[in-house]
Copies of this chain bind each other. A is one copy, B any other.
């Protein structure tokens, strides 16, 4: 029987647990989480069989899923290098910054343990096992960095999550970190900065602003995301995130200049080109 150990039953860890059970009902899932509520929810639903200490869970498992904030994943990879893991065990993770995680896995891999870095490109501003929602992951992109795993191990991994119909894509760690800095880390940082700007304006205003417009709510929804997780992500991919902010600032400067100078045609052409691109980006993957 296959035993999976999940370290971290947040939104992603818990949702993946449900997807594994759906893919392979015989799989036995054990888990560790600092928050007893997350464990309780998952044990009560029958998805997770038992709560275990990290070392104990790791040593029993065929698959070790590290699903905690990036900084913790890095620590765990170093701890795993000191444990006697089961022969043939494969370690994987779901962290959002792969270069740093790859670095932390060096000792573990030098010992011969298979490590398959991974990242499902889906999430929620809601956190914790109580908000687990496999439906939000289904059909999404799942980046894999093959590291030292065999083709067979990768295939077994994909089978373990087959119910999610993920679009698995092999990339290297650096490309991954560039992609997510642009399409995930940057939007989150901007959402936080936008929500803060508008919240301050509201607080300082004499007028009641009423219900916020839908545009603002959508644009800032991800500012409701877990601050612990996002602190860890931003600090684990700082150079790529800062480079993306610089690129973004150039776009803002361009629009700002057109507005300052009243350059109607240039402003319109830029907004039109962007609108087309944005519509296209969504269409390609419908």
How far, in angstroms, from A198 to B248 measured CA to CA in the complex? Answer: 9
In the A-B complex, the 4 residue pairs with the smallest Cβ-Cβ separation, listed nearest first, are A141-B210, A227-B271, A211-B285, A199-B277
Docked-complex contact B251 and A197, CB < 8 angstroms: yes
Interface flag for A79 (CB, 8 Å): no
A274–B227 Cα gap in the complex (Å)? 9
User: Does chain B have a CB within 8 A of A260?
Assistant: yes
**A152 within 8 A of partner (CB):** no
Report the bound CA distance from A205 to B171 in whole Å. Answer: 12
Residues of A participating in the B interface, judged by any CB pair closer than 8 Å? 121-123, 136, 139-141, 143, 167, 169, 171, 175, 178-179, 182-184, 186-202, 205-228, 230-231, 234-235, 238, 241-242, 244-245, 247-249, 251-252, 255-256, 259-260, 262, 264, 267-268, 270-275, 277-279, 281-282, 285
Please give the count of copies of this chain that the complex contains: 2
Most chain B Cβ neighbours within 10 Å, of A197, A200, A225:
A197
The majority secondary structure among interface residues of chain A is helix
A184-B215, A207-B171 known; A190 and B201 CB under 8 Å?
no
